[in-house]
Structure 1
Amino acid sequence: MIPVFHRRGLLAAIGLAPLAPQALHAQQDWPNRPVRIVIPSAAGGAADFIGRTLGRFFEGPLRQPVVIDNRPGAGGILGTETVKQAAADGYTLLVSTNSTHAANEFLYRRLPYDPVRDYAHVGLLGTYPTIAVVSAEAPFRTIPALIDHARANPGRVFFGYYSSSSQVPSALLKARTGIDVTGAAYRNITQIVPDLISGQIQFAFLDALSAAPALQSGRVVPIAVSATRRTVQNPELPTVAESIPGFVVEGWFGLTAPAGTPRPILDRLQALLRDAVQDDAVAAALVRQGLTPGFLTGEEMDRFLVADRARWREWVGIAGIQPE
């Protein structure tokens, strides 16, 4: 006679046995329908550019359409939660960012997702600085001149922000210099630029990719970058650190799937992402938009994020930002 606990184990094994070949076939057959890439921000921004660039590249080798799904709102939380709730089958991916998987942990009291447990990372594709920009009509063109103007006009200088990458540098500037400036929250970059041009706000830190169209128009002027060194795209543009030593804030973009996504699918996606970052045309497009390509595997990205969360914890703390 089979002991009860052995019978239960045997019954469980028998019940599960027919599913294993089905699951294996599903992985081997992937993808047999369109793949969705969720963008946790509005169309026209940096994450949107990244997602659409990857989507176009992926469609060839996958032989399936790649659908871009913009889900803006709450600092990237809405789109990120959407991917957490999706089936872990390789058909829903997320353009992950320093906001969604690092800074938000310290900017919000309660996240509806766990940035570590709820996701499996495909890989990181590059980093970017933020650019301090002002209206072409602004009376200042440098960080020191902006600081002097704010000191001469306490309480009358405003900055706009729409993500951690734009909020934290402005708050750090305020904390490090003691200037009396006020932040105004926006849903996305497309709302900030018109107010910047019209003078409703006086300055903003925009991620390099999102800032490109506004800068090309000539109605918005860059005055500094928050990178560790001057960029190859704008070598004449000083870093904020040249005026305020140690002032560095950089963001990143990655590709992420729901936790539990089968390893073979993650491996194939990882290989595709590496190919995309190393493709001359894709890399050139990313560089033109202000990104510094630098591929990391999913495992390397996990280790990178341990350090990155520590950086954002420090930056948010120094900036004095209270979690919402």
Structure 2
Amino acid sequence: MAHHPQRRALLAGLAAAPLAAGTARAQADWPNRPVRLIIPSAAGGAADFIGRTLGRFLEPHLRQPVVVDNRPGAGGITGTEAAKQAAPDGYTFLIATNSTHSANAFLYRRLPYDPVRDFAHVGMLGTFATIAVVPAEAPYKTIPALVAQARANPDRMFFGYYSSSSLVPSALLKARADLEITGAAYRNITQIMPDLISGQIQFAFLDSLSAAAALQSGRLTPIAVTSPQRSPLMPELPTVAETIPDFVVQGWFGLTAPAGTPRPILDRMQTLLREAAADPTLVEAVTRQGLTPGFMTGAEMDRFLVDDRARWQEWVRIAGIEPE
């Protein structure tokens, strides 16, 4: 016997009701177990510091532990793929960066994730520039002196890199100043430091947090920053753009989740991220490490990333980097 269309709709609605009620109840109970925060880089770098600082802020608000899960490797790809593959249940989040969600699309021929389709963004925390650093014993302590040294010693100067934020400025410098210098790839920030300090490699662009201890101890010398303006933390340090016009490369940190994560959970996390970005203690901690706080909602981050991917695509093109 055929059912009346209205009756069919009613039966379908009744069948779906327990499922919807169960989903709503699960979201209302969220979180009722620890939340995992994947950091797509090694301990000791800027993303690790941002993630752990944010995790400590979130714990009392969520009333659950925030478990930091460092997944370094392949320019952030390893950790980002792990986040993509996680259940979209509100218990896994990722510290997203300019490498994972902008630059990697142009640095690698095949990414195992889609930075647009595979994630639901919570929001952005802020931006950062990188610092050009040289060994303390190096005779070149400015960008013009570094360029002169490279021209006088073609193919005998090496730079190290471990992420898009360290590779792209170095390759841009090589292209814009027409230098014959060679890059050496490192898995993460902790591997690059001994070779840089000992002078095995002649310079690198590092995020300020990763460079902080070596700069404070005098083992490395900062020579320039890649931001549009001088850093308030080191106002005496010139920008690269003061030597090479329009030379600006900036990175960022944000929070994202696997696509399909329930909207109420994303909204709750976005509210907490907004509160974190306004918390004086957290703001002071991240600012001291070179991050310029600048909160964005998930929707604003979506729009920002359209422009940011175009910027990184252009930087990679000008730098002449062939995708791996």
For Structure 1 versus Structure 2, the TM-score category normalised by the shorter chain is over 0.9
Aligned counterparts of 1:39 and 1:80: Cα–Cα separation in 2:
8
Q: TM-score, normalised by structure 1?
A: 0.97
- Secondary structure, counterpart of 1:18 in structure 2: helix
Task: Report the Cα offset of residue 12 of structure 1.
Answer: 5.0
Give unpaired runs (5+ residues) of structure 1.
none
Moved over 3 A (4+): 3-15
C-alpha RMSD of matched pairs (Å)? 1.4
Shift of 1:15: 3.7
Shift of 1:11: 6.2
**How far is the alpha carbon of 1:7 from its aligned partner?**
8.6
TM-score (norm 2): 0.97
Post-superposition Cα deviations, 1:164-215, rounded to whole Å, max 9, x if no partner, equal 0000000000000111100000011111110011111000000122221221
Partner Cα separation in structure 1 for residue 3 and residue 115 of structure 2: 43
Q: 1:187 aligned to 2:176?
A: no
Structure 1 residue aligned with 2:248: 248
The residue aligned with 2:18 is 18
Aligned position for 2:284: 284
- Taking the aligned partners of 1:21 and 1:110, their CA distance within structure 2 comes to 40
Aligned equivalents of 2:259, 2:307: Cα separation in 1? 21
The letter of the residue matching 2:227 is: A
SS in 2 for 1:204: strand
Instruction: Give the letter for the 2:158 counterpart.
Output: F
Q: Note the 1:81-100 alignment, pairs <5 A.
A: 81-100=81-100
In structure 2, the CA distance between the partners of 1:12 and 1:241, relative to structure 1 (3 Å rule), is: same
SS at match of 1:129: strand
Q: Please give the alpha-carbon distance, in whole angstroms, between the structure 2 residues aligned to 1:165 and 1:5.
A: 59
Query: In the TM superposition, what is the alpha-carbon distance from 1:19 to its structure 2 partner?
Result: 0.8
Q: Residues 11 and 112 (structure 1 numbering): CA distance in 2 closer, same or farther, change over 3 Å?
A: farther
1:232 matched to 2:263: no
SS of 1:17's partner is helix
Q: 1:148 to 1:26 in 2, by over 3 A?
A: same
Q: How does 1:193-212 map to 2 (within 5 A)?
A: 193-212=193-212
Write out per-residue CA displacement over residues 20-50 of structure 1, whole angstroms, 9 at most, x where no aligned residue: 1110001111000000100000000000000
Aligned length, in residue pairs: 324
Unmatched runs of 5 consecutive residues or more in structure 2: none
Q: 1:7, 1:80 → 2: CA distance? A: 46
Residue 215 of structure 1 aligns with which residue? 215
Which whole-Å CA distance do the structure 2 matches of 1:248 and 1:144 have between them? 17
Query: 1:262 corresponds to which residue?
Result: 262
- Whichever residue aligns with residue 159 of structure 2, its letter is F
